[in-house]
Chain A
Amino acid sequence: MERDALRGLARVERLYADRSARARALAGEGRKVIGYLCGLVPQELITAAGLVPYRITGNPGEPIAEALDYFEPNACNYVLNCFQQALRGRYDFLAGIVIPHACDTVQRLYGLWKFWRPPDYTHFLNVPTVVTPEAVQFFREELELFKESLETFAGRTIDRAVLNESIGLHNENRRLIRGLYESRKTNPPALSAGEMMRLLVVGTAIPADEFKSLLVEVTEEVQGRTVSGNPEKVRLLLYGCIVDNAGLPELIEGQGGIVVVDDTCIGTRSFSRDVEIGNDPLGSLSRVYFSEFLCPKIVPDWQASRFAYLADMAHDYGVKGVVAYLLSWCDPHKFDMPVLRDYLNEAGYPMLAIEDDYTLSSSGSIQSRVQAFVEMLRQQD
């Protein structure tokens, strides 16, 4: 276990400043760190194998350069950015990678990474597009293959008890995160969107047990806070694909809005459901990571009513509107946008769609649009 003089949100700040430091240190101590992308990979299996799960992210401050020698320029800039980190040797501490079929670009990333920068361990997790009993069974078999490959790599059997123990640990983290989200239902929320985002991002880069102790510290700290601040900020729901840094929530906060809840990959999609502990842990993981997972890549139904959960979430958190963050060239999210916009409008939640190349380099224009949106929502009251 890491020893650190800092506690709670102060420790989060330090970890966030150099997100991979802890994973690099663990790798230096001989622990095997496994990088994964997207919310479709069960970290419980990696933890159960005695390995350290680490969510691969990009560095939004870096323009895309050498990744374009391998990838097309009309590919998702987030994925290009992640791959560029690998090309620059920043993921050399990873003993392996697990990449799911989350979208066309992520699928192709697997082949490129494996071909040009192969770590010791590589695994691709196929994810069906539809949700049917056969698809659930297929994904379960994919998890079985994933488990076997981890066992071979780690030289360790993942039996039911070990897996259930790991599920219990990750569930505990989910429970603690949900508790922190509850604290954001107050007006103003007890925890800012930037603080929450930094905590979540840090949590994907350290072992699950260390994240748990961090969550406990942050929960105590937040519970001890006297809620103060500007209750006039307009409460917003942030919807989108990958938001893996605090830049956007803080930009929104600077314009009079405040993100109090989200539907994003690192946000609620990753922790809103617990994995059932029992006789069939792989079946339970299949439900949480596939059939109930809210990813536009998975098409359970074509009706617009599939977005009903968002209207419910908006209602629960008392939001006035929705900011959708879209990455350029992101087919799964962009095809959903007009239908989602119309659905939310009818439900009484106006939506602002922001398109970006992952860098927030046009933040001036984004700020203006957020400011105008917030003003419009304020006038609706």
Chain B
Amino acid sequence: MNEKSELSKAVRSTETARSVYDILKRWYARSLLAGVEGRPVAWCMVGAPPEVLSVFNVDTSWPENYSTACAARQMAVPLMEIAEGEGYSKDLCSYERNTIGYCKEYLRLGGIPPDSPQGGMPWPSMLITNSMVCDPRTKGFQAYNAHYLKVPMYTVDVQMPPYGADVHDPKVREHYRKYNVAQIWGLVRFLEQQTGKKLDEAALSEAVKNSLKAQRLMWGVHELRKSVPSPMPSEDQFACIVPQLYLAGQPESVEFYQSLHAEVKNRVDNGLGVIPDEKYRVLWVGIPPWFNMGIFNYLESLGAVSVMETTYYVWAPVEVDLSRPVEAIVDIAWQKICQIHALGAELSTEGMGSAGLVLKFVRDYALDGVIFHRVLSCRAISFGQAHTARRLRAELPVPCLFLESDMADPRTWSDSQIKENIHGFLNIIDAQRP
């Protein structure tokens, strides 16, 4: 139990989750070396397909991930304050504010700011973003490219069917598929232009195959996490997203999830839980506070385990024709969209705000309560929480707790109030037990 420090890193349960740090170190070092050697480096936003980037041997930095690293090391605030001084509102995505501050500081110093987490991000030769999930991922990249970077930029514009669309209607499917395939081909042409290389379709096919393998393993881990006691908590999963989001398609990613799956299965087989006496099983909805992942350990000190989470969820495995890998990337996404729509998709086709998913998890994971983390500077992920709580009250009564802070901005954290709310929430769960 950590009552002394308000903000702390998480102590993780699984060895595999702890090994993510080594992967991160190697990955950042590769990108930094590429920058030093003058090879292409792309700054990318999650949603840009890493498989395509990997076959062009383009090294990558992901401002989103870098911002979580800055937040975890309590180094984000000075960078965000620089962005705010430039006129970027405190309302705006804290990842983007952190990155804007980084750009400005890089220019001021003429290089990577000293003591940057993971050695920092090398100055990019190109930007690759996308329009999935939220506006800031296009608007933020546009802003710091116009203000500071001034490098070639490609936006993968992903279009998704709205709530209520018949996703099984071939006409609807073709409307979206045609456009989204053209977007990925556009990325390919952009990378061909930037690198002078042609797409190796066989290599891309292999990368997509690896990606599917990793996703299947991750899905298996999610299934294993239904076990009681919980074998793997949310703070571990939030570390384990790194290969899935940033290194998809690489053999290293498959090896990581093989190792994770084996470890979690072993824990389930031997009845090893996150804590010895699991009293409360809760769901975490929303992005976590990267600057205070220790909050999950605090929950555990009270007998509560966050056994599952909605954000970064890997949907059920799918099968696609890999002979045309560009199209396969879109077909994989479409099959996931179909899964999301089967559950409702009222708020967002990306599924992270899906009330249906939360209702399903409450049933499948034998949950006692739901914690909604209302992330102030990330509207896109927070949207749907009030709606979901409303549906829960009507359809599957389970205690809900709303915590309000942010993903990377610790100035929003009110420790005593949040802890008081957590205590009250657990008391309500106790009171409602049969």
Residues on A facing B (Cβ under 8 Å): 68-75, 103-105, 107-108, 110-112, 114-115, 122, 124, 126, 128-130, 132, 134-135, 137-138, 141, 145, 296-297, 299, 302-304, 326, 328-332, 334-339, 341-342, 353, 355
Contact = CB atoms under 8 A, between A and B. Distances in A.
Contacts of B374: 72-74
B138 A129 contact: yes
B163 A105 contact: no
7 contacts: A71-B386, A74-B382, A108-B347, A111-B347, A128-B131, A138-B159, A302-B145
Contact of A111 (B143, B146, B163, B376): B163
B345 to A, nearest CB: 7
Contacts of B136: 331, 335
A191 B374 CA distance: 46
Given A108-B353, A111-B345, A114-B163, A335 B139 contact: yes
A326 B88 CA distance: 12
Contacts of B96: 335
Nearest to A328: B91
Nearest to A304: B146
Contact of B147 (A138, A338, A353): A338
Nearest to A128: B157
A139 to B, nearest CB: 10
Contacts of A104: 134-135, 379-380, 383
B369 interface: no
B142 interface: yes
Contacts of B379: 72, 74-75, 104-105, 329, 331
Given A329-B379, A330-B91, 12 more contacts: A69-B386, A70-B390, A72-B379, A114-B163, A114-B164, A114-B346, A122-B164, A124-B164, A141-B175, A297-B135, A337-B89, A342-B147
A334 B84 CA distance: 12
A297 B143 CA distance: 13
A329 B141 CA distance: 18
Contact of B382 (A70, A72, A126, A336): A72
Contacts of B153: 302
B167 interface: no
B203 interface: no
A115 B346 CA distance: 7
B298 to A, nearest CB: 24
A72 B385 contact: yes
Nearest to B165: A124
Interface string B138-179: 111111011100000101010110111100000000010001
A340 B166 CA distance: 41
Interface in B165-203: 165, 175, 179, 182-183, 186
Given A115-B387, A335-B139, A126 B91 contact: no
A130 B137 CA distance: 13
A165 to B, nearest CB: 28
Contact of A303 (B86, B146, B157, B163): B146
Given A104-B135, A112-B387, A299-B138, A132 B91 contact: no
B348 interface: yes
A132 to B, nearest CB: 7
B346 A299 contact: no
Nearest to B141: A302
Given A74-B379, A104-B380, A337-B87, A68 B386 contact: yes
Contacts of B147: 338-339, 342
B386 A70 contact: yes
Contacts of A138: 159, 175, 179
A110 B162 contact: yes
Interface centre among B89, B348, B390 (most CB of A within 10 A): B89
Interface in B362-397: 374, 376-377, 379-380, 382-387, 390
A75 B383 contact: yes
Nearest to B355: A115
Nearest to B155: A130
B93 interface: yes
Given A138-B159, A299-B138, A299-B155, A335 B143 contact: yes
B92 interface: yes
B417 to A, nearest CB: 16
Given A72-B379, A104-B383, A338-B86, A130 B157 contact: yes
B431 to A, nearest CB: 23
B143 A338 contact: yes
The 10 closest A-B pairs by CB, nearest first: A335-B139, A124-B162, A338-B87, A111-B346, A129-B131, A111-B163, A134-B182, A331-B135, A302-B142, A138-B179
B162 A105 contact: no
A355 B90 CA distance: 12
B163 A115 contact: yes
Interface string B272-304: 000000000000000000000000000000000
Nearest to B149: A302
B142 A335 contact: yes
Contact of B383 (A69, A105, A130, A134): A105
A322 B384 CA distance: 36
Contacts of B175: 138, 141, 145
Contacts of A72: 374, 379, 382-383, 385-386
Given A115-B163, A115-B346, A141-B175, A69 B139 contact: no
Contacts of B347: 108, 111-112
A137 B183 CA distance: 13
Contact of A110 (B91, B138, B163, B183): B163
Residue with the highest number of chain A CB atoms closer than 10 Å, among B92, B135, B157, B175: B135
Nearest to A335: B139
Contact of B135 (A103, A145, A302, A338): A103
Contacts of A296: 139
Given A74-B374, A74-B379, A339 B386 contact: no
Contacts of A137: 179
Given A70-B387, A297-B135, A129 B163 contact: no
Nearest to B88: A338
B116 to A, nearest CB: 23
Contacts of A337: 87-89
A128 B183 CA distance: 11
A328 B91 CA distance: 7
A3 B160 CA distance: 45
A126 B162 contact: yes
Contacts of A105: 379, 383
Could you say which of A115, A124, A304 has the most chain B C-beta atoms within 10 Å of its C-beta?
A115
Interface string B110-144: 00000000000000000000010011101111110
B383 A108 contact: yes
Contacts of B91: 74, 328-331, 334
A293 to B, nearest CB: 16
B88 A335 contact: yes
Given A74-B379, A331-B136, A339 B159 contact: no
A135 B147 CA distance: 26
Nearest to A72: B382
Contact of A335 (B140, B162, B380, B383): B140
